[in-house]
Amino acid sequence: MLKLVHLTILISFLSQASIYHRADFLYISLILGVLAIVFGVNVVAHRYIGHESFQASGPITCILLGWFSYLGLDSPIFYNQLHQRHHFNSDRLGDPHSPHQRSAWLLPLRIFFLKFPPVPIHFRILKRQLRRPYFKFFHRWRYGIPFLAMFLLASLGSLSAVFYFMTVPSLFALFGQLMQVFLGHASRLNSQSTQDRSSDSVLMNLLTLGEGLHHSHHIHPRRIFQKMDNPLLFDFTGWLILKIPFFQKDSKI
Ligand SMILES: [Zn+2]
Ligand SMILES: [Zn+2]
């Protein structure tokens, strides 16, 4: 993610003169940015890679994981490890990104300038992830795919195409991830039922475009759709997964 964002920003600075003249690219990049949050972070990263809330056929899996890689979200195996750690140890020692640990507030800076803190590998989870279709492939090609896409965009389009079609959506994805990490656990109160500090948040639901039911999600991590009376807490991600016919849903989840 970092290398991709850094490199594309560098490229975009080099091509600065042309960037500001592409209003048509700007509209496309904003659409891609919304897709990066809704599909990249919410549906693919969180619900599919993180929780296996649904299954998909081979070609659809390749599209989903390809989009995840394109956005520079790194390895699906690493993402799953990180997210499972977060659920096992929410707001306790071992949570890789609880906002209640002082170090977490440096996370955006770390993500942008350095690299994500290493997470100890959980071998039982790793074994399961390695068996999931195409996970090994997209793990190996986690840098290759975005760099190849960048190269194609730069050679077929222009350098500003790299900025609009890769940098902007990647930054949207980064924003969506940070909102989930921070707003989902921003509550100061300890929750009775799960011992973590996750909370359902209207603000988070609006900013993440449908992933604000974080406390409900911690109680039922694999549940596809969380029903809420408050329309501002509509589980848009879950609704979308239910509506997409290509996704195979287990009726027990
Ligand atoms: Zn959480
Ligand atoms: Zn989760």
Q: How large is the angle between the packed helices 168-183 and 23-35, nearest 10 degrees?
A: 30
Q: Which ligand is nearest to the CA of 198?
A: 1
In Å, how far from its chain's centre is CA 211?
11
Do residues 8 and 166 touch, judged by C-beta distance below 8 A?
yes
What's the CA gap between 47 and 249, in Å, rounded?
12
Mean pLDDT of the region 207-220: 94
Do residues 218 and 190 touch, judged by C-beta distance below 8 A?
no
Calculate the average pLDDT of the chain: 84
- Give domain status of residue 23, yes or no: yes
How far, in Å, from the CA of 237 to the mean position of ligand 2?
12
Res 109: pLDDT? 62
DSSP-derived secondary structure for 212-233: -BHHHHHHSTT-S----SSGGG
DSSP 248: E
How far, in Å, from the CA of 27 to the mean position of ligand 1?
32
DSSP 55: E
What's the CA gap between 180 and 176, in Å, rounded?
6
Mean pLDDT of the region 226-239: 93
pLDDT over 70 at 40, yes or no: yes
Sort 76 into a burial class: Cβ within 10 Å, 0-12 / 13-18 / 19+.
Answer: buried
Res 106: pLDDT? 65
How far, in Å, from the CA of 166 to the mean position of ligand 2?
25
Best CA proximity match to 107, nearest among 86, 76, 129: 86
- Give domain status of residue 253, yes or no: no
Mean pLDDT of the region 4-17: 62
Q: What predicted TM-score, i.e. pTM, was given to this entire model?
A: 0.87
Q: How many domains does one find in the chain?
A: 1
- Give domain status of residue 39, yes or no: yes
How far, in Å, from the CA of 181 to the mean position of ligand 2?
10
Side-chain-facing half-sphere of 190: CA atoms under 13 Å: 5
Residues near 178 by beta carbon (within 8 Å), at least 6 away in sequence: 107, 108, 111
Domain that holds residue 40: 2-248
Mean pLDDT of the region 176-193: 75
How far, in Å, from the CA of 90 to the mean position of ligand 1?
6
How far, in Å, from the CA of 109 to the mean position of ligand 2?
23
136-174 pLDDT, tens digit per residue, is: 999 999 989 998 998 898 888 777 888 889 988 998 998
